[in-house]
Chains A and B, each alone.
Chain A
Amino acid sequence: MTVPKKIMIFRRQRAKELKRFADKLETYIGSGISTKLYDGINQLENSSYIPFYRDENGNCVNTDVNYWGYSIDDIKLDINADRHLKPKEINKAEAYLSINLVSDFRNWKNVKDPFCELSFNVTIKGIKPKSAEGVHYFGFHLDRHHESQDSDEIHPTYHLQYNLNPKNNKDFDYGETLNIDSPRFLHYPMDLILGLSYLIANFQPLSYSKLIEDREVKNLIRDYQDSIWKPYSFTISNHWQNDGSAIEWNKTAICPFLV
């Protein structure tokens, strides 16, 4: 099955934006971070690649040419040592992002859910050279809840959850921590551009402040916020009809990522 030209033009535009972002990451972050993004770029540019998604019954299929997306494993980001790493004496840590995103071409830039699949999975690994075990992990993920999944628990469509034991180690030593299925925190959706910027802001704040000063990056991020966050925010705010009151709350204090 080959993706029609019209949709390929759309996909190539997304690929071009990812390339631009990859180049900028190489400038401001370096360490070969951009090469993983090319996995996604290749998938977008490949007209015979249709990503897998779950249909309404939860079956994994890849038959609809309107669906585009990418799947990238282990984009590595160094974590600045002064990020209050605990336990003490962890001297080095890295975050690994794996992302799987599927979107319906027809929903883009409308006030609709921009994605039909999102798995944004972050594992953080730190080394404590003085201990016997030595390797410590932490993880969190931002997922899109799929309509076909039944659950008694409350599931915001996009939710973020922490994971103390991302390696699913059966003998995990929980020490003094307590672990339960953490609440599914309501969170806005993020693609690769918004998501990586988010991680950089948190783990390499100095690099983020330079990245966000770059005019091209800023435009790119603004455009993706427009495509992804605007429909999300409009949909929620639409719960209350604006009664004409002036909006006096500082939006960038609520969400400093807005550009």
Chain B
Amino acid sequence: MKPKYLYIDDENPDALKSIVNGFNDVGEIEVELVDLSKLRDFESLKQYICEQNPDGLILDLRLDGDGQNRLSFPATTFAQDLRTLAVSGDVKFFPLILCSTSPKMRATYDVDKTSHDLFDYKFEKSDTPEWKKFSIKLKSIANSYKWLNERKRTVEEILNREDWQQFDSRIFEKFIDKEQDLKVNDIAQFVIKELFNHPGILIKERTVAARLGVDIDASGNGWNRLKKEFLEDCMYNGAFGNGWERWWFDRIASKFQSISKGEKLQNLNASQRVEILSKLGFTLISAKPIEPYCKSSEFWTVCEYYKTPLDPLEGFKIYESTELKPWQEPKFLSFSAELERKGRDRGLRPHPSELQNVKDLKEMLSK
């Protein structure tokens, strides 16, 4: 059965049809707009949601904006109350999804970090929304919540991996601490925001390609074959895994070592890595440094703007709104992207500690 999300937004219902239809047309989840004309106050809306018992809730950030069905409270206040109800056991935990237009998101949500752990996912109401992508994620979140609500799950079950204790013990210490009674939304937050959204023990496809030295775009089917035939068992298939394609890096590293006569990825450049992979019969093109400023092909990350391989030594750490844990790796911007101030509209900018390095490099290259 498709997970059912209720959608709360103060805008004119006619204007919201495109969003509701956007999701329903994809068919992964069912979205129903809540009729706010009869549910204007906090308590009656809350009661309605509890009675409906949805698989998830989509909330517009500024419910107290200037829409036709304007409410007197923002999404964060409402979400906070629902979370409190769930913690006290009055309702089950269900996913809370935030949506807003990009300027509103930046102006309010991005600034107020206290509300970030209320929502499991946020999407922007843009002119060309990626309904398919959003739907897959929302479906995965709802299904994983349901699975987590059934009974208390172990770390092994959540990750679908038995040997998790080999990782930095700080990563999962809150799961071991019996005093910390982790709730379903805590687990969701941890997996999606701490494990998926930062490179670390799990990495994204493009980072996998960078570490294997492969140019994804140029390799085409060769890359797809490599993923399917060689890397399949390195893919994360634990909770929320259907919504986010992530890969266990330790498995990729040892898999590579098993075919490289013990040579480790980090000691080879892109063409050497690809040469070894090609011996397995895959047609792959090795990635090249981002021209004209990058020189190293000992790739380990990607430029967050170009999404192409980058040696972190040649990149600049980007500013991130949350402080990284020691076991999370920073994300980087290449000098080419920074020079042209690419990605500023998406909030990509160098970390303040890198500004002097950017300046020094500019000066050196201008001599």
Binding site for B on A (CB under 8 A): 26, 31-35, 38, 41-42, 46, 73-74, 81, 89, 91-94, 96, 125, 127-135, 167
Q: Are B295 and A127 in contact (CB under 8 A)?
A: yes
Chain B residues with CB under 8 Å of A133's CB are 295
**A-contact 0/1 string along B321-333, CB 8 Å cutoff:** 0001011111000
Known: A32-B329, A129-B314, A167-B267. 18 other contacts (CB 8 A): A32-B326, A35-B327, A38-B169, A38-B170, A42-B167, A74-B266, A81-B360, A91-B361, A92-B313, A93-B313, A125-B296, A125-B298, A125-B313, A127-B296, A127-B311, A129-B293, A133-B295, A134-B289
Of the residues A33, A89, A127, A131, contact of B314 by C-beta under 8 Å: A127
Residues of B within 8 A of A (CB): 165-170, 264, 266-267, 289, 293-296, 298, 311, 313-314, 324, 326-330, 335, 357, 360-361, 364-365
A129 CB contacts on chain B under 8 angstroms: 293, 295, 314, 335, 361, 364-365
A32: which of B167, B324, B360 is its contact (CB, 8 Å)?
A: B324
Residue of A nearest to B335 (CB): A129
Contacts of A31 in B (CB 8 A): 330
Instruction: Indicate if the CB atoms of A41 and B296 lie closer than 8 Å.
Output: no
B364 touches A91 (CB 8 A): yes
7 tightest A-B CB contacts, nearest first: A134-B295, A38-B168, A35-B327, A135-B296, A34-B326, A32-B326, A35-B168
Q: How far is the CB of B309 from chain A (nearest CB, A)?
A: 14
Residue pair B364, A127 in contact (C-beta under 8 Å):
no
Q: Which of A31, A81, A93 has the most CB of B within 10 A?
A: A31
User: Chain A nearest CB: distance from B131 CB in Å?
Assistant: 36
Contact of B166 among A33, A42, A130 (CB under 8 A): A42
Q: Which residue of B lies closest to A135 (CB)?
A: B296
When distances are taken between beta carbons in the complex, the residues of chain A under 8 Å from B170 are 35, 38
Partner of B365, one of A92, A130, A167: A130
Contact A127/B169 with A32-B328, A35-B326, A134-B296 known, Cβ cut-off 8 Å: no
A42 to B335, CA, bound (A): 37
Q: How far, in Å, is A89 (CB) from chain B's closest CB?
A: 6
**Nearest A residue to B169, CB-CB:** A38
How many whole Å from B238's CB to the nearest CB in chain A? 20
B298: A residues at CB distance < 8 A: 125, 135
Instruction: State how many angstroms separate the Cβ of A131 from the closest Cβ of chain B.
Output: 7
**B324 / chain A contacts, CB cutoff of 8 Å:** 32
**CB neighbours of B169 from chain A (8 A):** 38, 41-42
CA distance A46 to B266 in the complex (A): 26
Complex Cα gap A132–B296 (Å): 10
Nearest to B296 among chain A residues (CB) is: A135
Task: Show 14 residue pairs from A and B whose CB-CB distance is below 8 angstroms, ordered by the A residue.
Answer: A31-B330, A32-B327, A32-B328, A32-B329, A35-B170, A35-B326, A38-B327, A42-B167, A74-B266, A89-B364, A96-B266, A129-B335, A129-B365, A167-B267
Bound: A33/B295 CA distance, A: 25
- A128: chain B residues within 8 A (beta carbon): 295
Give Cα A167–Cα B314 distance, bound, in whole angstroms. Answer: 19
In the assembled complex, the Cα of A127 lies from the Cα of B295 at a distance in Å of: 8
Residues of B within 8 A of A81 (CB): 360
Identify A92's interface contact among B264, B266, B357, CB under 8 A: B357
Q: How far is the CA of A130 from the CA of B289 in the complex (A)?
A: 14
Nearest CB of chain B from residue A17's CB, rounded to whole Å:
15
CA distance A132 to B293 in the complex (A): 10
Q: In this complex, what residue of B is CB-closest to A32?
A: B326
**Once the chains bind, are B313 and A94 in contact (CB under 8 Å)?**
yes
Q: Tell me which residues across on chain B come within 8 A of A134, comparing CB atoms.
A: 289, 294-296
Cα A73 to Cα B267 with chains together (Å): 10
- Rounded to whole angstroms, the CA-CA distance of A46 and B169 in the bound complex is 12
Q: Which residues of A contact B311 (CB under 8 A)?
A: 127
Closest B residue, CB atoms, query A73? B264
Contacts of B167 in A (CB 8 A): 38, 42
CB distance from A213 to the nearest CB of B (A): 22
Once the chains are docked, how many angstroms separate the CA of A96 from the CA of B298? 13
Task: Report chain B residues within 8 Å CB of A89.
Answer: 364
**Using Cβ atoms and an 8 Å threshold, which residues of chain A touch B330?**
31-32
Question: With A and B bound together, what is the CA distance between A131 and B311 in angstroms?
Answer: 16
How far, in angstroms, from A35 to B198 measured CA to CA in the complex?
14
Cβ contacts under 8 Å, B328 to chain A: 32
Residues on A with C-beta less than 8 A from B360 are 81, 91
Chain B residues within 8 Å of A91, by CB: 357, 360-361, 364
Query: Which residues does chain A contribute within 8 Å of B361, judged by CB atoms?
Result: 91, 129
* B266 in complex: contacting residue of A32, A34, A42, A73, CB < 8 Å: A73
What residue of chain A has the Cβ atom nearest to residue B314's Cβ?
A: A127
Min CB distance B169 to A, Å, is 6
Residues in B with CB closer than 8 Å to A42 are 165-167, 169
Residues in B neighbouring A32, C-beta threshold 8 A: 324, 326-330
Residues of A within 8 A of B289 (CB): 134
- Known contacts A35-B168, A35-B327, A92-B357, A130 near B266 by CB under 8 Å: no
Closest B residue to A25 by CB, please name it. Answer: B326
The residue on B at minimum CB distance from A81 is B360
Establish whether residues A130 and B326, one from each chain, have CB atoms under 8 Å apart when the complex forms. no
